Structure 1
Amino acid sequence: MTPAQGGAAAGAVTTARASAGPPAQPPRQAGTPHRALRNTLGRYATGVAVVTARSPNGLPVAMTINSFTAVSLDPPLILWCLAVRSARGAAFTAATHFAVHVLTASQHQLATRFAGPAEQTHDLPMTTGPHRLPLLPDTAATLICRQTGLFTAGDHTVLLAEVESHTAAPGQTLLFADGAFHPGPSTGNGRVCPVDG
Protein backbone atom coordinates (compact mmCIF):
# COMPACT_ATOMS: atom_id res chain seq x y z
CA MET A 1 0.00 0.00 0.00
CA THR A 2 1.15 3.49 -0.67
CA PRO A 3 0.54 6.33 1.84
CA ALA A 4 -2.54 6.03 4.01
CA GLN A 5 -5.62 6.52 1.89
CA GLY A 6 -7.92 8.76 3.85
CA GLY A 7 -10.90 10.75 2.69
CA ALA A 8 -11.05 14.51 3.01
CA ALA A 9 -13.22 15.63 5.89
CA ALA A 10 -16.36 17.40 4.80
CA GLY A 11 -17.41 20.65 6.39
CA ALA A 12 -18.88 24.03 5.70
CA VAL A 13 -16.67 27.06 5.27
CA THR A 14 -17.38 29.73 7.84
CA THR A 15 -16.40 33.37 7.82
CA ALA A 16 -14.33 34.96 10.58
CA ARG A 17 -16.24 36.77 13.31
CA ALA A 18 -15.31 40.24 14.43
CA SER A 19 -15.58 39.24 18.10
CA ALA A 20 -12.62 38.00 20.05
CA GLY A 21 -11.93 34.30 19.91
CA PRO A 22 -9.62 31.76 18.28
CA PRO A 23 -8.09 32.87 14.98
CA ALA A 24 -10.10 32.00 11.92
CA GLN A 25 -8.94 28.98 9.94
CA PRO A 26 -8.20 29.48 6.25
CA PRO A 27 -11.15 28.35 4.12
CA ARG A 28 -10.83 24.98 2.44
CA GLN A 29 -10.50 25.03 -1.29
CA ALA A 30 -13.37 23.32 -3.03
CA GLY A 31 -12.36 20.20 -4.91
CA THR A 32 -8.94 19.78 -3.30
CA PRO A 33 -7.45 16.79 -5.11
CA HIS A 34 -6.86 13.58 -3.14
CA ARG A 35 -3.18 13.71 -4.08
CA ALA A 36 -2.70 16.89 -2.09
CA LEU A 37 -4.33 15.35 0.98
CA ARG A 38 -2.24 12.20 0.61
CA ASN A 39 0.90 14.33 0.44
CA THR A 40 -0.14 16.09 3.64
CA LEU A 41 -0.95 12.82 5.44
CA GLY A 42 2.33 11.40 4.14
CA ARG A 43 4.26 13.83 6.35
CA TYR A 44 3.26 11.56 9.25
CA ALA A 45 5.69 8.63 9.33
CA THR A 46 4.12 5.22 9.81
CA GLY A 47 5.36 1.71 10.22
CA VAL A 48 4.96 -0.77 7.38
CA ALA A 49 3.29 -4.13 7.86
CA VAL A 50 2.06 -7.07 5.80
CA VAL A 51 -1.20 -8.71 6.85
CA THR A 52 -1.73 -12.36 5.95
CA ALA A 53 -4.75 -14.65 6.14
CA ARG A 54 -6.36 -17.65 4.46
CA SER A 55 -8.98 -17.04 1.81
CA PRO A 56 -12.22 -19.06 1.94
CA ASN A 57 -10.68 -21.49 -0.58
CA GLY A 58 -7.66 -22.04 1.68
CA LEU A 59 -5.09 -20.05 -0.29
CA PRO A 60 -2.79 -17.57 1.45
CA VAL A 61 -3.48 -13.88 0.91
CA ALA A 62 -1.23 -10.98 1.84
CA MET A 63 -1.41 -7.20 1.71
CA THR A 64 0.94 -4.35 2.63
CA ILE A 65 -0.56 -1.76 4.96
CA ASN A 66 0.53 1.33 6.85
CA SER A 67 -2.84 1.87 8.52
CA PHE A 68 -2.10 -0.51 11.42
CA THR A 69 -2.55 0.92 14.92
CA ALA A 70 -2.93 -0.14 18.53
CA VAL A 71 -6.35 0.49 20.06
CA SER A 72 -6.33 -0.96 23.57
CA LEU A 73 -4.08 -2.91 25.94
CA ASP A 74 -6.92 -4.28 28.07
CA PRO A 75 -8.32 -6.02 26.16
CA PRO A 76 -5.46 -6.14 23.61
CA LEU A 77 -7.01 -4.66 20.47
CA ILE A 78 -5.57 -3.44 17.18
CA LEU A 79 -7.09 -2.23 13.93
CA TRP A 80 -6.12 -1.73 10.32
CA CYS A 81 -7.90 -0.28 7.31
CA LEU A 82 -8.71 -2.02 4.04
CA ALA A 83 -9.72 -0.16 0.88
CA VAL A 84 -13.30 -1.04 -0.05
CA ARG A 85 -12.23 -1.51 -3.67
CA SER A 86 -9.44 -3.99 -2.78
CA ALA A 87 -9.51 -7.20 -4.81
CA ARG A 88 -8.42 -9.08 -1.66
CA GLY A 89 -10.99 -7.40 0.56
CA ALA A 90 -13.46 -10.29 0.61
CA ALA A 91 -10.78 -12.73 1.76
CA PHE A 92 -9.73 -10.54 4.69
CA THR A 93 -13.21 -9.58 5.82
CA ALA A 94 -14.28 -13.25 5.76
CA ALA A 95 -11.23 -14.43 7.74
CA THR A 96 -11.74 -15.17 11.43
CA HIS A 97 -8.01 -14.63 12.07
CA PHE A 98 -5.12 -12.80 10.45
CA ALA A 99 -1.45 -12.14 11.17
CA VAL A 100 0.15 -8.69 11.16
CA HIS A 101 3.87 -8.70 10.29
CA VAL A 102 5.86 -5.55 11.12
CA LEU A 103 8.62 -5.38 8.51
CA THR A 104 12.31 -4.83 9.09
CA ALA A 105 14.24 -2.09 7.32
CA SER A 106 15.67 -4.68 4.92
CA GLN A 107 12.22 -6.01 3.89
CA HIS A 108 11.14 -3.11 1.66
CA GLN A 109 10.93 -5.54 -1.27
CA LEU A 110 8.24 -7.49 0.60
CA ALA A 111 6.36 -4.24 1.16
CA THR A 112 6.47 -3.50 -2.56
CA ARG A 113 5.57 -7.08 -3.49
CA PHE A 114 2.29 -7.03 -1.56
CA ALA A 115 1.33 -3.41 -2.27
CA GLY A 116 -0.04 -4.01 -5.75
CA PRO A 117 -3.43 -5.38 -6.81
CA ALA A 118 -2.13 -8.82 -7.83
CA GLU A 119 -1.64 -11.64 -5.37
CA GLN A 120 2.09 -12.36 -4.99
CA THR A 121 2.40 -15.16 -2.42
CA HIS A 122 3.72 -17.77 -4.87
CA ASP A 123 7.39 -18.79 -4.57
CA LEU A 124 7.64 -17.13 -1.15
CA PRO A 125 8.83 -19.18 1.82
CA MET A 126 6.12 -19.05 4.46
CA THR A 127 5.39 -21.17 7.49
CA THR A 128 2.00 -22.16 8.87
CA GLY A 129 1.09 -20.70 12.24
CA PRO A 130 -1.94 -20.85 14.55
CA HIS A 131 -5.30 -21.06 12.78
CA ARG A 132 -3.38 -22.17 9.64
CA LEU A 133 -2.20 -18.58 9.16
CA PRO A 134 0.57 -18.08 6.60
CA LEU A 135 3.52 -16.46 8.39
CA LEU A 136 6.40 -14.49 6.90
CA PRO A 137 9.89 -15.26 8.23
CA ASP A 138 12.33 -12.87 9.93
CA THR A 139 9.98 -9.94 10.50
CA ALA A 140 10.48 -7.36 13.25
CA ALA A 141 7.24 -8.40 14.96
CA THR A 142 4.27 -10.67 14.33
CA LEU A 143 0.84 -10.45 15.92
CA ILE A 144 -1.72 -13.26 15.68
CA CYS A 145 -5.15 -11.66 15.77
CA ARG A 146 -8.78 -12.72 15.97
CA GLN A 147 -11.15 -10.48 14.07
CA THR A 148 -13.79 -8.97 16.38
CA GLY A 149 -15.48 -6.32 14.28
CA LEU A 150 -15.86 -4.63 10.91
CA PHE A 151 -17.21 -1.23 10.04
CA THR A 152 -17.17 1.02 7.02
CA ALA A 153 -15.48 4.40 7.22
CA GLY A 154 -15.60 6.33 3.96
CA ASP A 155 -13.76 4.42 1.24
CA HIS A 156 -12.26 1.91 3.71
CA THR A 157 -13.33 -0.98 5.90
CA VAL A 158 -11.90 -0.90 9.42
CA LEU A 159 -10.97 -4.32 10.80
CA LEU A 160 -10.86 -4.51 14.59
CA ALA A 161 -9.16 -7.50 16.18
CA GLU A 162 -7.99 -8.94 19.48
CA VAL A 163 -4.32 -9.90 19.74
CA GLU A 164 -4.00 -13.55 20.79
CA SER A 165 -0.19 -13.75 20.77
CA HIS A 166 2.76 -11.75 19.55
CA THR A 167 6.52 -11.94 19.02
CA ALA A 168 9.18 -9.28 18.53
CA ALA A 169 12.77 -9.40 17.33
CA PRO A 170 15.58 -6.85 17.60
CA GLY A 171 16.61 -4.78 14.60
CA GLN A 172 15.56 -1.79 12.56
CA THR A 173 11.96 -1.52 11.46
CA LEU A 174 10.72 -0.14 8.13
CA LEU A 175 9.03 3.26 8.06
CA PHE A 176 7.09 5.04 5.32
CA ALA A 177 6.98 8.83 5.01
CA ASP A 178 6.79 11.36 2.19
CA GLY A 179 6.18 8.59 -0.35
CA ALA A 180 9.35 6.63 0.43
CA PHE A 181 10.69 3.92 2.72
CA HIS A 182 13.08 4.81 5.54
CA PRO A 183 14.93 2.74 8.16
CA GLY A 184 13.45 3.09 11.62
CA PRO A 185 15.05 2.75 15.05
CA SER A 186 16.78 -0.42 16.13
CA THR A 187 15.05 -1.96 19.14
CA GLY A 188 13.19 -5.04 20.35
CA ASN A 189 13.81 -7.75 22.90
CA GLY A 190 13.10 -10.91 20.92
CA ARG A 191 10.65 -12.32 23.49
CA VAL A 192 7.63 -14.48 22.69
CA CYS A 193 4.73 -12.92 24.61
CA PRO A 194 1.38 -14.66 24.99
CA VAL A 195 -1.33 -12.18 25.90
CA ASP A 196 -2.77 -12.44 29.39
CA GLY A 197 -6.52 -13.07 29.52
Structure 2
Amino acid sequence: MNGRSEGQASPCVSADSFRGAMACLASGVTVISTRDAQGAPHGVTVSSFVSLSLDPPLVQWSLRRTAPSYAVFSKARHFAANILAADQEEVSRRFCAPVDRFAALRAATGMADIPLLPGALAWIECERVDEFPGGDHAIFLGRVMRARHHDRPPLVHWRGGYHNIA
Protein backbone atom coordinates (compact mmCIF):
# COMPACT_ATOMS: atom_id res chain seq x y z
CA MET A 1 0.00 0.00 0.00
CA ASN A 2 1.23 3.47 -0.78
CA GLY A 3 -0.67 5.29 1.97
CA ARG A 4 -3.04 7.09 -0.42
CA SER A 5 -6.78 6.55 -0.44
CA GLU A 6 -8.39 5.01 -3.49
CA GLY A 7 -9.02 7.60 -6.19
CA GLN A 8 -6.70 10.22 -4.69
CA ALA A 9 -4.56 11.94 -7.31
CA SER A 10 -0.81 11.62 -6.91
CA PRO A 11 1.03 14.89 -6.18
CA CYS A 12 2.39 16.70 -9.22
CA VAL A 13 5.64 18.59 -9.08
CA SER A 14 5.81 22.01 -10.71
CA ALA A 15 8.02 22.45 -13.77
CA ASP A 16 10.10 25.07 -11.91
CA SER A 17 10.65 22.79 -8.92
CA PHE A 18 11.61 19.85 -11.13
CA ARG A 19 13.93 22.03 -13.27
CA GLY A 20 15.61 23.38 -10.12
CA ALA A 21 16.17 19.91 -8.70
CA MET A 22 17.57 18.59 -11.99
CA ALA A 23 19.94 21.57 -12.22
CA CYS A 24 21.72 20.06 -9.22
CA LEU A 25 22.85 17.17 -11.41
CA ALA A 26 26.09 17.98 -13.20
CA SER A 27 26.24 16.56 -16.71
CA GLY A 28 28.66 16.37 -19.56
CA VAL A 29 27.89 18.36 -22.69
CA THR A 30 27.51 16.56 -26.00
CA VAL A 31 26.73 17.63 -29.55
CA ILE A 32 24.84 14.97 -31.48
CA SER A 33 25.56 15.18 -35.21
CA THR A 34 24.16 13.54 -38.33
CA ARG A 35 23.34 14.24 -41.97
CA ASP A 36 19.92 14.65 -43.51
CA ALA A 37 18.72 12.80 -46.62
CA GLN A 38 20.29 15.49 -48.84
CA GLY A 39 23.66 15.16 -47.09
CA ALA A 40 23.55 18.44 -45.13
CA PRO A 41 25.12 18.25 -41.65
CA HIS A 42 22.95 18.77 -38.57
CA GLY A 43 23.84 18.97 -34.92
CA VAL A 44 22.30 19.80 -31.57
CA THR A 45 23.69 20.29 -28.06
CA VAL A 46 22.31 17.85 -25.49
CA SER A 47 23.00 17.09 -21.85
CA SER A 48 20.92 13.91 -21.90
CA PHE A 49 23.52 11.61 -23.48
CA VAL A 50 24.35 8.47 -21.42
CA SER A 51 25.70 4.97 -21.85
CA LEU A 52 23.07 2.26 -21.61
CA SER A 53 24.83 -1.08 -22.08
CA LEU A 54 28.32 -2.52 -22.53
CA ASP A 55 27.15 -5.77 -24.12
CA PRO A 56 26.06 -4.85 -26.69
CA PRO A 57 27.50 -1.32 -26.55
CA LEU A 58 24.46 1.00 -26.53
CA VAL A 59 23.87 4.68 -25.79
CA GLN A 60 20.77 6.81 -25.39
CA TRP A 61 19.96 10.48 -25.67
CA SER A 62 16.82 12.58 -25.92
CA LEU A 63 15.54 15.51 -27.96
CA ARG A 64 12.43 17.65 -27.56
CA ARG A 65 9.92 16.57 -30.22
CA THR A 66 9.24 20.23 -31.10
CA ALA A 67 12.95 20.93 -31.77
CA PRO A 68 13.61 22.10 -35.34
CA SER A 69 16.05 19.21 -35.89
CA TYR A 70 13.75 16.49 -34.51
CA ALA A 71 12.56 15.34 -37.96
CA VAL A 72 16.15 14.99 -39.19
CA PHE A 73 17.28 12.89 -36.20
CA SER A 74 14.10 10.83 -36.27
CA LYS A 75 14.85 9.76 -39.86
CA ALA A 76 18.65 9.46 -39.53
CA ARG A 77 20.17 5.98 -39.62
CA HIS A 78 23.42 7.08 -37.96
CA PHE A 79 24.58 9.74 -35.52
CA ALA A 80 27.70 10.70 -33.62
CA ALA A 81 28.00 11.89 -30.05
CA ASN A 82 30.72 14.55 -29.87
CA ILE A 83 31.55 14.82 -26.16
CA LEU A 84 32.84 18.34 -25.64
CA ALA A 85 36.13 19.26 -23.97
CA ALA A 86 36.43 21.97 -21.31
CA ASP A 87 37.53 24.58 -23.86
CA GLN A 88 34.48 24.08 -26.13
CA GLU A 89 31.80 26.19 -24.44
CA GLU A 90 31.47 28.27 -27.64
CA VAL A 91 30.80 25.09 -29.64
CA SER A 92 28.06 24.08 -27.21
CA ARG A 93 26.44 27.51 -27.45
CA ARG A 94 26.67 27.49 -31.26
CA PHE A 95 24.81 24.17 -31.48
CA CYS A 96 22.00 25.62 -29.33
CA ALA A 97 21.56 28.75 -31.44
CA PRO A 98 19.51 29.26 -34.63
CA VAL A 99 22.59 29.77 -36.84
CA ASP A 100 24.50 27.78 -39.46
CA ARG A 101 26.02 25.52 -36.84
CA PHE A 102 28.67 23.99 -39.11
CA ALA A 103 29.83 27.30 -40.66
CA ALA A 104 33.61 27.72 -40.35
CA LEU A 105 33.97 24.36 -38.60
CA ARG A 106 36.31 21.86 -40.17
CA ALA A 107 34.33 18.78 -39.25
CA ALA A 108 35.98 15.44 -39.93
CA THR A 109 34.02 12.65 -41.55
CA GLY A 110 33.31 9.58 -39.49
CA MET A 111 31.74 6.25 -40.31
CA ALA A 112 28.56 6.46 -42.42
CA ASP A 113 29.66 9.99 -43.48
CA ILE A 114 28.69 11.46 -40.10
CA PRO A 115 30.31 14.83 -39.23
CA LEU A 116 32.68 14.76 -36.24
CA LEU A 117 33.44 18.03 -34.46
CA PRO A 118 37.09 19.09 -34.23
CA GLY A 119 38.62 19.26 -30.76
CA ALA A 120 36.01 17.03 -29.10
CA LEU A 121 37.04 15.10 -26.02
CA ALA A 122 35.48 11.94 -27.49
CA TRP A 123 33.56 10.74 -30.54
CA ILE A 124 31.06 7.91 -30.29
CA GLU A 125 29.73 6.87 -33.70
CA CYS A 126 26.43 5.02 -33.69
CA GLU A 127 23.79 3.30 -35.74
CA ARG A 128 20.34 4.42 -34.59
CA VAL A 129 18.50 1.36 -33.30
CA ASP A 130 15.22 2.79 -32.11
CA GLU A 131 13.22 5.78 -30.91
CA PHE A 132 10.84 5.80 -27.95
CA PRO A 133 8.35 8.36 -26.63
CA GLY A 134 9.42 10.12 -23.45
CA GLY A 135 6.89 12.80 -22.55
CA ASP A 136 7.63 15.91 -24.61
CA HIS A 137 10.91 14.30 -25.77
CA ALA A 138 11.92 11.42 -27.99
CA ILE A 139 14.51 8.98 -26.63
CA PHE A 140 16.99 7.72 -29.22
CA LEU A 141 18.85 4.45 -28.81
CA GLY A 142 22.09 3.84 -30.69
CA ARG A 143 24.44 0.89 -31.16
CA VAL A 144 28.05 2.01 -30.87
CA MET A 145 30.08 1.27 -34.00
CA ARG A 146 33.28 3.10 -32.98
CA ALA A 147 34.48 5.12 -29.99
CA ARG A 148 37.61 7.27 -29.62
CA HIS A 149 38.70 9.64 -26.86
CA HIS A 150 41.43 11.95 -25.54
CA ASP A 151 42.68 12.43 -21.99
CA ARG A 152 41.51 16.00 -21.31
CA PRO A 153 38.95 17.59 -18.98
CA PRO A 154 35.28 17.66 -20.07
CA LEU A 155 32.89 20.57 -20.44
CA VAL A 156 30.35 20.27 -17.62
CA HIS A 157 26.93 21.88 -17.26
CA TRP A 158 25.66 22.47 -13.72
CA ARG A 159 23.03 24.81 -12.25
CA GLY A 160 22.40 26.48 -15.58
CA GLY A 161 26.03 27.25 -16.44
CA TYR A 162 29.21 25.79 -17.87
CA HIS A 163 32.03 24.66 -15.59
CA ASN A 164 35.55 23.35 -15.95
CA ILE A 165 36.35 20.61 -13.45
CA ALA A 166 40.08 20.52 -14.19
Give TM-score scaled by structure 1 length.
0.76
Q: Where does the alignment leave 5 or more consecutive residues of structure 1 unmatched?
A: 1-11, 16-26, 186-197
**Residues 134-161 of structure 1, C-alpha deviations (whole Å, 9 max, x = no match):** 1111211100000001111100000001
Offset of 1:31 from its aligned partner?
A: 7.0
Larger Rg: 1
- Aligned residue among 17, 20, 23 for 1:42: 23
Q: Which residue of 2 aligns with 1:106?
A: 87
Determine the C-alpha separation between the residues in 1 that align with 2:39 and 2:4: 53
- List gaps (5 residues or longer) in structure 2: none
Q: 1:35: how far off? A: 2.7
Bigger relative contact order, structure 1 or 2 (CA pairs below 8 A, ≥6 apart): 2
Q: Corresponding residue for 1:7? A: none
Structure 1 residue 115: deviation in Å?
1.3
Among all aligned residue pairs of Structure 1 and Structure 2, give the percentage whose two residues are the same amino acid: 30
1:13 shift after superposition: 9.4
Asked if 1:167 is matched to 2:164, the reply is no
1:87-106 equivalences under 5 Å are 87-106=68-87
**Counterparts of 1:83 and 1:117 in 2: how far apart (Å)?**
15
2:64 corresponds, among 83, 87, 95, to: 83
Tell me the amino acid that sits aligned with residue 166 of structure 1: A
Number of equivalences: 161
Decide whether the 8 Å contact of 2:105 with 2:118 is kept in 1: no
Question: TM-score by structure 2 length?
Answer: 0.90
